[in-house]
């Protein structure tokens, strides 16, 4: 069992990844906005770096340690590069450089814009200065390099002068003493001492006190500072893509509406049986049996799932309901009824939506009197027969309420009609929105199965969760859901007026008269 579970998890991970990618790719505008922002950021960097140039100069620092105190010490250990870097960034060097640039008042400002670094394991100081023009950057860098070398030479010269002066003060009395003891005892030793001191003075005076060598002359840079144009564009695209993914993920996480089949199934706790293209307002709701199109095949698939799927239902009452007001619920109920009738079932379609005009005014009704020779259809008071073309015929129980009496409870009438229809007949009931009226929940308690009709991109996940809780608490059973997408051009069926539906349609006046008579008879039967 453990190996089987791990195998299932291994195969589920690619599906989950693909689902996440699909969710993110739904926000194409957000992703495009992120990429545009990234490119704009790269353009801004290009504009900012277009006015900045960096000039670099490098100095090899020489050792200026006193030879009298460095016997046996290697030259590499006689220079502290950390100390030399601090000297290069000192106010003294900055004042000297500002004076050379004829900007003595800007010594502190120049020092703030200067960068001095020491590459590891070297005796090189690297001077870098960034300015608005290439020539200005080279001039300031060169001034700081010269100021540092001049300061170091000045300090070395001062050290040499000080040490020479002390040695000369030591030699003078020795010379006087040697003159006084000329040819006497000890004159040879004095002469040797005097020669040694004079040699040290001579070595100090001829010593090279240059602070270092310029190994890289500061030159005006040919290109602005920073990465190149191609690198900035690539950086902008990568940054924009990361920003786009983050924004798309945030929108996906904060989006309250259903954007995928997986989200609908998670919120409703039932499978999504089909995703149906939406219909335009005013379109003919009946397609199965009368219109050759993709939606007709999808409704046939839903009907097959309802009868032979995992949660199959055998006859009984099927409630078709939307969480909130949605015109697609009526179309789904009508076409499911036609698909069930096409498979040989005796179907009763109950309109409990209180919509104006009702389904009776928008469906093709039979004009002849449906008597005993009409395929065994048994009509109750107020019921009519819908001509579903090749799908057969559907008995329709229209809504008796008008616009002024739309708040009259419909559930008692629905219960009577369904019970009077008999157990051998399949009843498909389409009612008002479940979360907006009590009728839907009252009918759900009496229905054998509930089919929820929602819409991608306009039905909220929270609404589906509430529908699940309410129907579950009332004892109803949700067998699945049908999701409708936004209406697209090329998939819409043109709305046909009653006069354009062919010889089987009722004229408008006769339909109004029949509707009034049906309202009177239903009021009498339910009253």
Residue 510: the pLDDT is 35
Residue 331 resides in a domain: yes
Domain boundary among 186, 216, 246: 216
Q: Is the peptide bond before 461 cis (omega within 30 degrees of 0)?
A: no
Residue 12 resides in a domain: no
Residues 302 and 369 in one domain: yes
Residue 38 resides in a domain: no
Residue 226 resides in a domain: no
Residue 511: the pLDDT is 40
Residue 24 resides in a domain: no
pTM here? 0.55
Residue 407: the pLDDT is 58
Is residue 51 very low, low, confident or very high in pLDDT (cuts 50, 70, 90)? low
Higher per-residue pLDDT: 80 or 46: 80
Strands, DSSP E only, in 388-488? 393-397, 426-431, 449-455, 478-484
Higher per-residue pLDDT: 281 or 276: 276
Residue 252 resides in a domain: no
Is residue 86 very low, low, confident or very high in pLDDT (cuts 50, 70, 90)? very high
Q: Which domain holds residue 106?
A: 52-67+75-216
State pLDDT tens for residues 100-119: 999 988 898 999 889 999 99
Distance CA 306, CA 429 (A): 15
State pLDDT tens for residues 473-513: 888 889 889 998 876 544 333 333 333 333 333 333 334 43
Q: In percent, how much of the chain has pLDDT > 70? A: 75
Residues 207 and 279 in one domain: no
Task: Report the CATH number that the domain containing residue 374 is assigned in CATH.
Answer: 3.40.50.300
Number of folded domains that form the chain: 2
State pLDDT tens for residues 148-164: 999 988 888 888 888 88
Rounded to an integer, the average pLDDT of 377-387 is: 70
**Both tokens of residue 15?**
């599906």
Residues 280 and 370 in one domain: yes
Rounded to an integer, the average pLDDT of 301-316 is: 79
Is residue 524 very low, low, confident or very high in pLDDT (cuts 50, 70, 90)? very low
Nearest to 329 by CA among 439, 483, 458, 474: 483
Which residues are paired to 484 by β-bridges? 276, 455
- Rounded to 5 degrees, φ, ψ at 129 are -135, 135
Is residue 408 very low, low, confident or very high in pLDDT (cuts 50, 70, 90)? low
Distance CA 452, CA 437 (A): 15
State pLDDT tens for residues 56-79: 999 998 876 554 444 444 554 467
Residues 268 and 151 in one domain: no
State pLDDT tens for residues 421-471: 566 678 888 888 888 887 778 788 888 889 999 888 888 888 899 999 988
On the question of pLDDT at 120 being above 80, the answer is yes
Question: Which residue bears the tokens 């995703």?
Answer: 275
């Amino acid at each position: 069992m453990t190996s089987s579970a791990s195998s299932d998890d291994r195969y589920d991970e690619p599906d989950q990844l693909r689902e996440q990618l699909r969710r993110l790719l739904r926000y194409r505008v957000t992703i495009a906005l992120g990429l545009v922002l990234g490119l704009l950021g790269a353009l801004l960097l290009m504009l900012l770096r277009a006015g900045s140039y960096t000039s670099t100069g490098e100095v090899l620092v020489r050792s200026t340690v006193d030879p009298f105190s460095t016997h046996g010490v290697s030259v590499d250990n006689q220079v502290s590069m950390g100390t030399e870097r601090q000297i290069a960034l000192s106010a003294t060097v900055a004042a000297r450089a500002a004076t050379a640039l004829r900007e003595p008042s800007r010594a502190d400002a120049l020092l703030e814009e200067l960068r001095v670094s020491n590459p590891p394991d070297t005796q090189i100081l690297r001077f870098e200065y960034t300015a608005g023009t290439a020539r200005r950057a080279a001039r300031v860098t060169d001034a700081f390099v010269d100021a540092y070398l001049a300061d170091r030479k000045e300090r070395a010269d001062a050290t040499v002068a000080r040490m020479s002066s002390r040695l000369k003060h030591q030699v003078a009395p020795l010379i006087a003493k040697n003159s006084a003891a000329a040819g006497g005892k000890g004159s040879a030793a004095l002469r040797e001492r005097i020669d040694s001191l004079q040699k040290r003075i001579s070595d100090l005076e001829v010593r090279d006190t240059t602070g270092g060598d310029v190994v890289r002359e500061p030159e005006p840079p040919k290109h602005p500072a920073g990465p190149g144009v191609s690198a900035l564009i690539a950086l902008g695209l990568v940054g924009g893509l990361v920003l786009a993914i983050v924004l798309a993920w945030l929108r996906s996480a904060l989006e309250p509406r259903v954007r995928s089949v997986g989200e609908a199934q998670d919120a409703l706790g039932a499978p999504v049986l089909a995703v149906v293209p939406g219909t335009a307002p005013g379109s003919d709701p009946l397609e199965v049996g009368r219109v050759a199109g993709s939606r007709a095949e999808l409704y046939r698939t839903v009907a097959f799932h309802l009868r032979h799927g995992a949660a199959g239902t055998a006859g009984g009452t099927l409630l078709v309901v939307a969480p909130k007001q949605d015109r697609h619920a009526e179309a789904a109920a009508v076409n499911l009824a036609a698909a069930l009738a096409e498979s040989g079932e005796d179907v009763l379609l109950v309109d409990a939506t209180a919509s104006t005009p009702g389904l009776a005014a928008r469906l093709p009704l039979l004009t002849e009197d449906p008597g005993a020779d009409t395929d065994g259809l048994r009509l109750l008071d107020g019921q009519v027969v819908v001509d579903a073309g090749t799908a057969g015929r559907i008995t329709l129980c229209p809504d008796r309420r008008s616009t002024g009496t739309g708040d009259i409870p419909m559930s008692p009438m629905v219960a009577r009609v369904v019970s009077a229809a008999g157990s051998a007949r399949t009843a498909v009931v389409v009612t008002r929105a479940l979360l907006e009226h009590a009728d839907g929940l009252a009918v759900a308690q009496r229905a054998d199965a509930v089919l929820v009709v929602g819409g991608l991109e306009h039905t909220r996940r929270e609404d589906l969760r509430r529908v699940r809780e309410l129907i579950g608490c009332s004892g109803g059973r949700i067998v699945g859901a049908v999701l409708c997408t936004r209406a697209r051009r090329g998939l819409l069926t043109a709305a046909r007026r009653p006069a354009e539906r062919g010889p089987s349609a009722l004229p408008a006046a006769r339909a109004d008269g029949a509707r009034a008579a049906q309202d009177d008879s239903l009021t009498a039967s339910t009253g």
